[in-house]
Structure formats: C-alpha cells, structure tokens
Structure 1
Amino acid sequence: MAMSIAYDEFMIFSKGEWSLDNYQICISYTDDMDYMSIAFLPDPAYEINGIPFEVASRGMYKNGRGVEYIYSLMDFSLVKKILMR
C-alpha cells in the first residue's frame, strides 16, 4: 500500500515528466517495522571515467530529481518528504 501511495506522490511531484525507467527505487524499513522509506533515485545522465556526473541545465537535471518518502506503517501517513539535488 505504501508503495502505491509513494508512486502517486512521485507522479504528482514529477508532473508525469520523469520516466521511472531512469530511476532506481530503494525500499527500506526500520527495525521495528513501524516506518518505511521509499526513495526514487535518478540514474546519472553521464559518467566520466566511471564517475557519475551531471550539471543542471536551466535548473533541471536530464533524468529529474530524486525524492525519498517516509511513511508510518501504522496508518500509511506520509511522515517526511526529502528532496535530493
């Protein structure tokens, strides 16, 4: 359920402009299973000698921005939203 809520949040955040094909999705839980973290991490647009590299063009990155959502598993409420880049 939290994954579906996170997907909907991501689509609103990205305005449907960033394809999930260009993202890694990382899921983790707290030890007590009270909270769940779902992070959408964009793939780097370029690599130079194996090092990920990207410079924003007019404030936008080629594959979009990263975002992490933290949900309470008691009621599936959004506890925190962390923006990346």
Structure 2
Amino acid sequence: MINKEWRELFNRNEYHEITGSYLLVIEDAKRKFEEISKGEWDLKKYVVWLQISTNQKYASIGFIPNIENFIDGIPFEIPNQGMYQNGRGVQFYYEIDNVELKETIFMR
C-alpha cells in the first residue's frame, strides 16, 4: 500500500481498551510461555486467546497451537508418526491488579 493507505483500514469509531495492568499480564504470560517452551515452540504457530472475568479482576491468557481439529471446542492435534507438529497449549490465569499468576493449565 502506498502513502499510508493502510490507515484507511481502521474504523475510527472502533477501539478496544485495556488497562496497563492487563498489558503487563499479557507480557508476563508471554515470558512464562517462552520459559516453558525453552524457545522450541514458535509463537507464530499459535493463536492467543484473551479473556477478562466478568468482574474485571482476573484474566486468562491461552496460547493455543494452530490446530485444525477441535473436539467439543477443544483443540486436538493428531500426531504424525508419533510426532506432534506443534508444541503444547498453555493457559495462564492471573489476578490483573497485581499481575499475580494464579494457575497454569497445560493442554495435551
């Protein structure tokens, strides 16, 4: 695109607002994901699911491998000759205000 035409792709009336603490939670979850994966799971092969609790106090950050198979809404990877093409999925639960990790759930 020439001459910043890409700017026209934004709807001027549509914004998504998050707090600075939530951004810190996302950053911490990414750091923990990288520690767990030891750099072996390419983040480009993942989808990140973000949720905030109804009371706005807790956040869930899920790193879900790009997988085409789902069973009851759960991503499911079928190994090829005993080898998985992607790393594991990881879901982190945080208390937002103090960026405190409450629970980690591993998938697969």
Calculate the TM-score normalised by the size of structure 1.
0.83
Unpaired runs of 5+ residues, structure 1, are: none
> Structure 1's 14 and 56: CA in aligned 2 closer, same or farther, altered over 3 A?
farther
Identity of aligned residues (%): 33
Q: Which residue of 2 aligns with 1:8?
A: 31
Q: CA RMSD in A?
A: 1.9
> Structure 1's 33 and 56: CA in aligned 2 closer, same or farther, altered over 3 A?
farther
The aligned runs of 1:1-85 (5 Å cut-off) are 1-44=24-67, 53-55=77-79, 61-85=84-108
Q: Flag the structure with higher helix content.
A: 2
* AA partner of residue 55 (structure 1): P
Where relative contact order (Cα < 8 A, 6+ residues apart) is larger, the structure is 1
> Structure 1's 82 and 57: CA in aligned 2 closer, same or farther, altered over 3 A?
farther
Q: Flag the structure with higher strand content.
A: 1
**Whole-Å Cα distance in 2 between the matches of residues 34 and 65 of structure 1?**
27
Name which one, 1 or 2, has greater alpha-carbon Rg: 2
Calculate the TM-score normalised by the size of structure 2.
0.66
